[in-house]
């Protein structure tokens, strides 16, 4: 197994008989609301990631599980609202935290978004990472 870095996040790549197979991600996310796309056009709602999300995590997200996040640009305009399932704190083989995954995997490359905010149950507010 070889460690690689994609979008700032370390990933494991399995090399089997000359082919590369990426191990399932330990986190996953879904876009629930695409706020900026025109209503009469296709939007990004339902997009899930990263590309190596596990089938089990996909099912959990489709069932409504996960922590609420909001992705914005540097003008504080909301682009996407969604949910993420994160690995347990003791199971993070990352150079960076997977909380940035939705932003780095999709928000920045697809829309130029610059920040991600998570709902804080205690304060009942969004906290920027």
What is the distance in angstroms between the CA of the first residue and the CA of the last residue of the chain?
31
Which CA distances in Å does 116 have to 13, 19, 24, 98, 99? Answer: 27, 35, 23, 12, 8
Asked if residues 71 and 29 have their Cβ atoms less than 8 Å apart, the reply is no
Distance between CA atoms of residues 6 and 12, nearest Å: 10
Domain ranges in the chain? 25-128
Which residues 6+ apart lie within 8 Å of 21 measured at CB? 13, 14, 15
Sign of CA dihedral 51, 116, 31, 124: positive
The pTM (predicted TM-score) of the whole model is 0.77
pLDDT by residue, tens only, the chain of 129 residues: 333 333 444 344 444 455 566 788 889 999 999 998 887 788 899 999 998 999 999 999 999 999 999 999 999 999 999 999 988 765 555 555 788 999 999 999 989 999 999 999 999 999 998
Please check whether residue 52 is in contact with residue 24, taking contact to mean a CB–CB distance below 8 angstroms.
Answer: yes
């Amino acid at each position: 197994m070889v460690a690689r870095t994609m979008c700032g996040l370390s990933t494991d790549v399995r090399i089997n008989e000359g082919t590369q197979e990426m191990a399932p991600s330990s986190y996953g996310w879904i876009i629930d609301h695409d706020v900026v796309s025109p209503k009469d056009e296709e939007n990004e709602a339902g997009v899930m990631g990263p590309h190596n999300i596990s089938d089990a995590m996909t099912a959990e997200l489709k069932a409504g599980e996960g922590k609420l996040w909001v992705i914005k640009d540097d003008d504080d305009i909301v682009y996407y609202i969604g949910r993420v399932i994160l690995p347990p704190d003791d199971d993070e083989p990352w150079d960076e935290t997977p909380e940035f995954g939705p932003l780095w995997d999709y928000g920045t490359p697809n829309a130029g978004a610059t920040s991600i905010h998570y709902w804080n149950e205690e304060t009942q507010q969004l906290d920027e990472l």
